[in-house]
Structure formats: structure tokens, C-alpha cells
Chains A and B, each alone.
Chain A
Amino acid sequence: MSLVMQALRDVFTGVNYFIFFYVLFVSGFYFLLFLVSALQLRKLFGLEDKSPYSELLESSFTPPVSILVPAYNEEAGIVASVRSLLATNYPNFEIIVVNDGSKDRTLETMLEAFSMKKVQKAVRKSLETQRVREVYISEVYPDLILLDKENGGKADALNAGINVSQYPYFCSLDADSVLERDAFLKVMKPIIDSDGDVICSGGSVRIANGCRIERGEVLEINLPDNKYAVMQVIEYMRAFLMGRIGFSRHNMLLIVSGAFGVFNKDIVVRAGGYRHDTVGEDMELIVRLHRFTRENKMQKRTIIYVPDPVCWTEAPEDASILRKQRSRWQRGLMDSLRLHKRMFFNPRYGLVGLISFPYFFFVEMMGPLIEAFGYLAIVIGLATGRMFLPFAASLLLLSILNGSLLSAGAVLLEEWSLRKYPRVSDLTKLCLYALTETFWYRPLNTYWRLEGTWQFLRKQQGWGDMKRKGVSN
């Protein structure tokens, strides 16, 4: 009996040590990223906003962009979104709304609002998609195109948009996000400056909740009142300011926000466009682009991230929606990693293979699992008393360091470098919320993402079956 107890105790001690060093390592890694980003951001602090872009706007050489807006049951917001896009500050662009077989009146609303006329258009099918029923062009705005196609999901809608688009760069945009007017100038600048070596440029996304937005313009930046929304503001700051700037500097970016990114169309088409059999089509595409450029000896082609916030998106204020979103993210992440597992620790793929991939695997994907064990260990440790109390205490402290304190750090970093929220009280509120993170928001997230992991693993089984069938045929 006591032998069993002893064994259990040893195992538990081992688990505790493992979690302890894991979290310690992750904290160290974050801290490093934090420093890189802080220095980079501070360098640009105070740079005047307008001057670097005025020339882009006046030049007739600024490359034109096709804006793709996939819409599935968006009758409520689509017209306003398109109107705000029409006011974009950019010399030459077209807007392609793709009605992905909506069941509501998305199509009719668009046809009426912009008096759209049916046209015969020979579409070059560079990517396979569901059947496109009709193509419409607005009689009022000749650069506004509407595709009506059979339902095939977001990836399929984007691919159809790519087929119809006529310009060398395209941008995918969610129908519910608001772009700043100068967004394209800002994200296109690195592409133009690099003579096209930058093949994808993602903009930073911010939470719109609480802000006053009229006709596609953010008039007043405010913090939301809803606690989930505030936490997401902090979360976005943390992800964008810390993680992505550090990764972007060395072309190791694996995520460009799904809400806003500009891509080189030619390369995306050659790499095969968006995949429709995954929930994380945006991340998957980025990973594939890395893979494609490496495998085709295009090392100079890079993927970058612009820290200036250019896109505002409505964050879910409701736990149940947030829960679905997080679980979907986790599934998307796992799927992208699964599809490209050969890049894992593969020196052929450079830093992406050696650092980003393992990072996403061990920290982003495995993180929730290990954190869950950590929380469990804390509870058990506190319950069993003396023997494991030091473990429990140190794990708790580490998770405070890794969660609350690092988030508070991100809030302060944003204040130090970008200074977007106007009032002293905003800063205080954000800091205080950030400090509570370890105690409710992070455990919740861990739980939601574990659910995602579980769903993914169960579904994986199903796909495995389908694949076997494919092989035997």
C-alpha cells in the first residue's frame, strides 16, 4: 500500500517538476520576445504618421489591390461594410464581394443598394471552386463586383474571389471588420519598398468594442465595458505587440491575422490558394507559403507584420461565442501543424522549421494541456498539504508571472511605444484587468482550448477513415 503511495508521490513530484520547468522555459521565451519587440517599437516611436505615406497615395505606380469580402448570411452588415470600403484611401482598388450561397437576402440587398447588373465574364479558373452562378458589376461604382456562388465555405469563397480579381495583390477581409482609411497605404508600403519581396503583409487588428466608429472611421478610441472584451483587448496587445513583432523580424511569422492581410496573388495561386478542408484556412495558408517559398528556393520572399493598428474588429462579448471561437482557433492551429508536420524541426525550412514550428507545437498547442495539469497540481498540492505545498505555491507564482504580469507588461509596452488609448484612466483600467488574468480568464481559455483539442482529436479519427478509403481505391 505504502509502496503504491510512494510511487504515486514520485510520479506526482515528477509531473510537478516537469510543469515547473516547462512554464519557466515558456516565461523565459516570452520575456525574450518582449525585449525584441520593445526595442523595435521604441525605435519607431514618434515617427510622424502622414509623411511616409503621402507619396504612395499620389503615385500612379502604387500597385492596385483587389479587396475580397466573403459574405455568408451578412444581409445586416454587408452594405455598410462595402460603403466604408469604398471610402478607402488608396489610388487603385476593386472590391469583390463573394456571396457564398447565403440563405438570407445578402444577394438581394447588395443588388439593390449598389444597382448591380449581371455581366458575362470569362473567368480564368486558376483555383478550383464551387460553381459561380453569376457575376454582377455595380452601375454606380465600376470597381465593385459581386460574385454569386454555391456555398462552399470561406476558403472556397476567397478562392472564387481570387479567380475573378484582376490585380496583382489581394486582401481578404471579414465582412464585420472596419478598416482604417489609410490601412492599405500602411500595409502595402513594405511590399512596395521591398520591390515585391514581401509576399504577404499583415496589419495589426484591434478590438472595436467601445470605440466610436462612423462610416468606417474610428473617431474616438475607448475601452469597452464588458469584461470579456477588455480581456481580449489585452490579449490582442500581448499577441500582436510581443509575439508577432519578434517573429516578423526574422521572417518566422506563422500567423497573419485572418481579419486583415495583403497577399501576392501570383504566389498564392501557385501555392494552391486557400484550402477548404480546414477550419484554420488563414494560418494554414501562411504556413504553406513559408513551405512553398522554401521549397522553391525563394528565400528572399518574406512574410511580415505591420504593428500599426489598421483594422478594427468586433470582439465577442459573450462567453459562449468566445468559447466557440477559441475552440475553433485551437482546431485550426492543430490542423495546420498536422498538415505540415514535415516542417517540424526541419532545417530545410530555416528558422520557421527550427523555431516557429516547435514554438507553436510546444507552447501554443500543448500549452493548454500542460496548463490544465498545472492547475490540477496546484489544487492537489494545496489539498494534500505540506509535502506539495512548495510546488503548488511556485506553480501559482509562475502562472501569475506568465499570465498576469506579462500581460500587464504588454499593456505598458503598448503605452510606451504606440500610445493609442488617450486617458490615464484607460491605462490604469487595463493594468488592473491584466493582473486578474491568471485567476479567471486564463483558466477559462485553457478549458476552451482543451475542448478544441478534444474535438480535433475525435474528428481526426473520422478523417483517418476517409483517407484509408482514398488509398484503397
Chain B
Amino acid sequence: MISTGLLWVLWANVGVIGLLLVLYLYLVAQKSFDVRWNSNLKARRERLQLLLQKHLVEGVETRSLQHLRSADVVALKDLLLEYSQVLSSVEAGERLRQLAEQVFTEPFRKDMRARNYAVRLNALYAIEEFRMESLRDDVVARLEKNRKLNQVERCQLYAILASLQDDALLTFLTDSALEPLPDFVYRELLLKMNESLFDRLFNQLYTLPRALRYCVIDIIGNKGDYRYVKAIEELTYSREREERIRALKAITKFGYVQRGSSLVDKSEAESWQERLMAARAMGAVAKDEFVDVLTKMLRDSSWWVRKESAQSLLRYPRGQEILRRIAESDEDRYARDMAREWLEAKQL
């Protein structure tokens, strides 16, 4: 019996060795092919670089950018991706976009439907980078027809629509309530939108998935978009706690409120997270009417709120003086400790 076992193992070994050998030879062949292909690309790239610079920066038309070999197309894509990061002038950017549409529309249309995942995604990244409107319909069609797209690919398709400022995106986002996307993706999409598309999205805030709504508030704060100050202040009275917290966070970023009472009210909120955000916002806004509230909040039952209040007080002109008084004579031991710690931190 063991002899048959031995025979089997022997064959398995021979088989595996054979397989490895074939694989090895294949990989060696491919590696040497790669090395040659890369040096070819490098040569092409050097040839194209000058032409491209002339074309993009000075607007010189050249015919050599029209008849391209396959190595040229790859080299050109890499070059354009680099240029698109550094070009600042509007005309040059527009020329780059046109050139990209002219050269890559067909290849990318094919790549978008390739079976290889990496090929598809690389094409999608480039389409976004070059803002290729010529493929807009293909993008929308792909999103509509393929319900089972992998999330990374789906998000990248959304990103293309966002960079094209296309209204179709709003519908897709509203529909994403069933399967919400990660916050990070929502934020990136929002950051890519221009003012008018963002306004249209904000107008339908309550049709959006909850996660996206929170992100919209975050983004407004982060961009410091003062057109929304009033709307944000109203949101601090929202019925949802998370929405109130996000609104307070946005106010912190603004460093400005129209009605201070909307912050003072929050100093007695039920959840410590809300009180903490209110304390932070009061530090950022730094209106005199908040000093007494913050002093009171130094005796809050939560360590985090006390810490935040002390930190906020330091942002007031009289802040150090107030903290010193508390550190010396307040009846609340926790308030004294916190005040002392922040005074020391300030001195450094």
C-alpha cells in the first residue's frame, strides 16, 4: 500500500516541479519582456514630452499627437496624468482635456468593460482626472445596468459624475439610502462638487440618506461656507442628536454664529458629547457672552467637557486670568485641577 502512496507522492512532486518550471520560464520571459517594454515606454515618453509641453502650454498643434502607437498611448496617459496635477492655467487644462478625449475615448470605453478589475479601475481613475465628458453616458449606463458593481468601482463612477458636476449623481446618491456608502466616500464626492451642484443637493437635504446628510453638514463647516450659517444654526435644534452635534461642529469651524443663544442652550444638553461640542464652539466663536457659561461648564460632571471648557476659555483675552482665579479659589476640586493643567500647558 505504501508503495502506491510513494508512487502518488512521486508523481505529485514531478507534477509540481513541472508546473513550477513552466511557471518560472513564463515569468522569466514576461520579466524580460517587461524590461524591454519599459525601456521602450521611456524612449516614447521622452519623445512625447517636448511635443506635449508645446501643445499644452503654448497651444501649438502638432500632427504627431494624432497618430499614436500603442506604446505612445500608454506613455501619453502617464504624462497627461502628471501634467494634470501641475498645470494651473485654465486654457492649458482645457487643451489637456480635449487631447485626452480625442485620444482616450475609445480605448477607455473598451477598458471600462474589460474583464480585468485593475484595467477597469485604472481607466476610471484617468477618466475622472481628465474630466472626460465624452464618456459621461457610458458611466451613467454602467451604473444603471450593473446593480452588482463592486463598491470601489461604483464609488469611482460616482466620482467621475461629481467631477463632471452632473445632476445624475444626485439621483444615485438619494437612491444609495438602501446601501449607504462609507462616510469618507460621501465626503470626497461632496468636495468634488461645485457650488451650484452642492446647492441643489442641499435643497433636498431631507431626501438624502442619513449618513450623507451628516457629511453635508461636516463639509459646509469644513469649507467655511457662510451662505449656510443660518441653516446650520437651525440644525442645532434638530430632533436628531447626531445632527445637532454635527451642526455644532460646523459652527466651531465657522468661528461665528448669528444668535449666541443657540450655543448657550446647549451647555445644559443631556449628552456630554453635545455639551463638549458646545464648549468647543464657544471657544471658537469667542463672544463675551459665553465667558460665564464656560466658567460654569468647568465644573461639569464629565472630564471631557471640563477639559474642553478650559481650553476654550484660554482662547479669550481674559481667559488666563479667569483660569488662574479658578485654579486658586474655586470650591470644585475638578475645576481647579483642570484650570491648573491648562495654565501650565499654556506657559509652554
Contacts and interface: CB of A to CB of B under 8 A. Distances in A.
Interface string B1-14: 01101100110110
5 contacts: A56-B184, A195-B183, A390-B3, A401-B16, A427-B31
Given A60-B222, A120-B344, A393 B118 contact: no
Given A122-B337, A193-B182, A193-B185, A43 B31 contact: no
A314 to B, nearest CB: 27
B118 A47 contact: yes
A405 B118 contact: no
B119 interface: yes
Contacts of A45: 118
Contact of B20 (A16, A44, A397, A409): A409
Given A51-B125, A59-B188, A60-B222, A405 B182 contact: no
A352 B129 CA distance: 42
B3 A46 contact: no
A401 B121 contact: no
Contacts of B151: 193
Given A59-B191, A195-B182, A427-B31, A397 B6 contact: yes
Contacts of B27: 412, 415-416, 427
B142 interface: no
Contacts of A401: 9, 12-13, 16
Contacts of A55: 188
B117 A44 contact: yes
A73 B335 CA distance: 40
A253 B6 CA distance: 35
B6 to A, nearest CB: 4
B303 interface: yes
A400 B20 CA distance: 13
B308 interface: no
Interface in B1-53: 2-3, 5-6, 9-10, 12-13, 16-17, 20, 23-24, 27-28, 31-32, 34-35
Interface in B247-306: 303
B345 A119 contact: yes
A117 interface: yes
A119 B341 CA distance: 10
Q: How large is the interface on A (under 10, 10 to 19, 20 to 34, 35 or more residues)?
A: 35 or more
Interface string B169-188: 00000000000001111011
A427 B6 CA distance: 31
Contacts of A456: none
Contacts of A52: 125
A234 interface: no
Nearest to B29: A424
Nearest to B345: A119
Contacts of A17: 2
A45 B114 CA distance: 14
B243 interface: no
A240 interface: no
A447 interface: no
A297 interface: no
B218 interface: yes
Given A391-B2, A397-B9, A415 B118 contact: no
A292 interface: no
A408 interface: yes
Contacts of B16: 401, 405, 409
Contacts of B129: 51
Contact of A412 (B24, B119, B122): B24
Interface string B128-141: 01000000000000
A407 B16 CA distance: 12
A397 B13 contact: yes
Contacts of A137: 348
Contact of A427 (B28, B117, B118, B185): B28
Q: Which 7 A-B pairs have the closest CB atoms?
A: A51-B125, A47-B118, A394-B6, A46-B118, A192-B184, A195-B182, A397-B9
A382 interface: no
Nearest to B120: A47
Interface in A36-70: 43-48, 51-52, 55-56, 59-62
Nearest to B338: A122
Contacts of B187: 59, 61
Contacts of A299: none
Interface in A309-363: none
A431 interface: yes
Nearest to A124: B303
Nearest to B188: A55
Contacts of A431: 20, 24
